[in-house]
Amino acid sequence: MNADPTAGASTAEPADKIAEADLERGIADGDEASLATAYRRWAPLVHTLARRSLGDPREAEDVTQQVFLAVWRGGRGFRPERGSLAGWLVGITRRKIADALSARTRRTELVGAAGALLVLSDDTRARPEAALDRVLVRHELAKLPAPQRRVLHLAFYEDLTQTQIAQRTGLPLGTVKSHSRRGLHQLRDCLRSVAEV
């Protein structure tokens, strides 16, 4: 099971296949040593795919961690008869890359929404009503449900990514994304209705 993947051509092909089969069985059984071996073998491939797709080494590292966390949590879902372990990992990688790209889009929307909110607080000295605008934004933010308010606070005031917010709060990443989106939409709608008055 611990065959060296960098060994020369003298390594017999059947031994590689046996090691692969053992590794696949270990992943399916939730064996920690098998996960470590899979990580050593395929983390460079996963990271390369993520970096090429995302163009950001830090996001690629995050995706790599998410892929192997998904393998650890969902290893029992791996079925060798459906395909190779490498193919399964590439499939998980593609989904995590798609999630990262979606998160990037949502972050862009968050930044746009934050920019709209910041317009309310720019030129504090030049505009006496800016202080009132900031109070209004805080007031509307306080009206949001606690989970949405907390997620937006962590995103805007502590400059955390959605993945970091999920880690800090213990919420699933999808839930963090939903709270961000819903909170921003509700905040935007409230501020629009106040502006129209």
**What are 25-50's pLDDT values in tens digits?**
888 888 888 888 889 989 999 999 99
78 with 33, same domain: the answer is yes
For residue 158, the tally of other CB atoms under 10 A from its CB is 10
Handedness of CA 39, 177, 153, 144 (dihedral sign): negative
Residue 167 has pLDDT above 70, yes or no: yes
73 with 19, same domain: the answer is yes
Local confidence band at 5 (pLDDT 50, 70, 90 cut-offs) = very low
DSSP of 125-193:
TT-TTHHHHHHHHHHHHHHS-HHHHHHHHHHHTS---HHHHHHHH---HHHHHHHHHHHHHHHHHHHHH
131 with 163, same domain: the answer is yes
- Residues 28 and 74: their CA atoms lie apart, in Å, by 8
Q: Tell me the average pLDDT across 161-175.
A: 90
pLDDT, position 119: 52
How many separate domains does the chain show? 2
**What are 75-96's pLDDT values in tens digits?**
777 777 788 888 889 999 999 9
CATH number for the domain harbouring residue 83:
1.10.1740.10
172 with 130, same domain: the answer is yes
Indicate left, alpha or beta for 127 from its phi (over 0: left) and psi (-120 to 50: alpha).
Answer: beta
The answer as to whether 5 is a domain residue is no
pLDDT, position 132: 59
pLDDT, position 142: 81
CATH number for the domain harbouring residue 137:
1.10.10.10
pLDDT, position 4: 38
Domain with 44, as residue range(s), is: 13-99
Task: Choose between 196 and 47: higher pLDDT.
Answer: 47
